[in-house]
Amino acid sequence: MTAPIANWKKSLPNIMTLSRIFAVPFIIWCLINPSPMGGYIAAFIFILASITDYLDGMLARKFQVESVMGKFMDPVADKVLVSSTLIMLIPSERLGPIMVVLLLARDTLISGLRSIAATQNKIIAAGTVGKWKTAVQMVAIPAVLIHQPLFGIPFYEIGYWILWISVALSLISGAQYIWAYWKSK
């Protein structure tokens, strides 16, 4: 007989997922502040939020408290965090609108495709390229947020080009999702 799971253990993964959404206003506030310190703080908050993306699923599996709500909210929280941050980088010209539109359009298309598949009792699981795309974005975006060389390292330039790699991975994985759905018909 196993002991009942403490209530906090049941709630922790979903709280971590929601924390990504709650981090967004703070990141936006930091980006409205044009100082280098605003970029450093935004990058720090983004990194913490990105870590919760890894931890929430791991803890849900460890505590055996995976939920439909968690499975639904996890990708939503990721999209809110990433898309809000990317959009806020356009006015400062740290990112161009074409890059942001490509990333957001792909995510919107795949979310819609997954919704259609769900109505047909089909699951389109995240593929390896899609997971790499997310990992690359979670590394590139904080570098772009820093925007100033730090310890002589040009984080912005590195992050900017890594983000273009994520665009390529995004388009490849988007095509894979569409192909997987098409094959499942």
Domain that holds residue 54: 8-184
Neighbours of 73 (CB within 10 A): 19
The per-residue pLDDT for 1 is 47
Question: pTM of the full predicted structure?
Answer: 0.87
Which residues in the chain land under pLDDT 50?
1
The per-residue pLDDT for 121 is 86
Written as one letter, the residue type at 142 is P
Assess if residue 61 is contained within a domain: yes
Choose among 21, 37, 178: nearest CA to 113: 178
Contact indicator for 90, 97 with CB cutoff of 8 Å: yes
The per-residue pLDDT for 4 is 59
Contact indicator for 112, 136 with CB cutoff of 8 Å: no
Q: How many domains, the chain?
A: 1
C-alpha atoms less than 13 angstroms from C-alpha of 107 in its C-beta half-sphere: 23
The per-residue pLDDT for 129 is 93
Assess if residue 89 is contained within a domain: yes
What CATH number did the domain enclosing 86 receive? 1.20.120.1760
Assess if residue 1 is contained within a domain: no
The per-residue pLDDT for 3 is 55
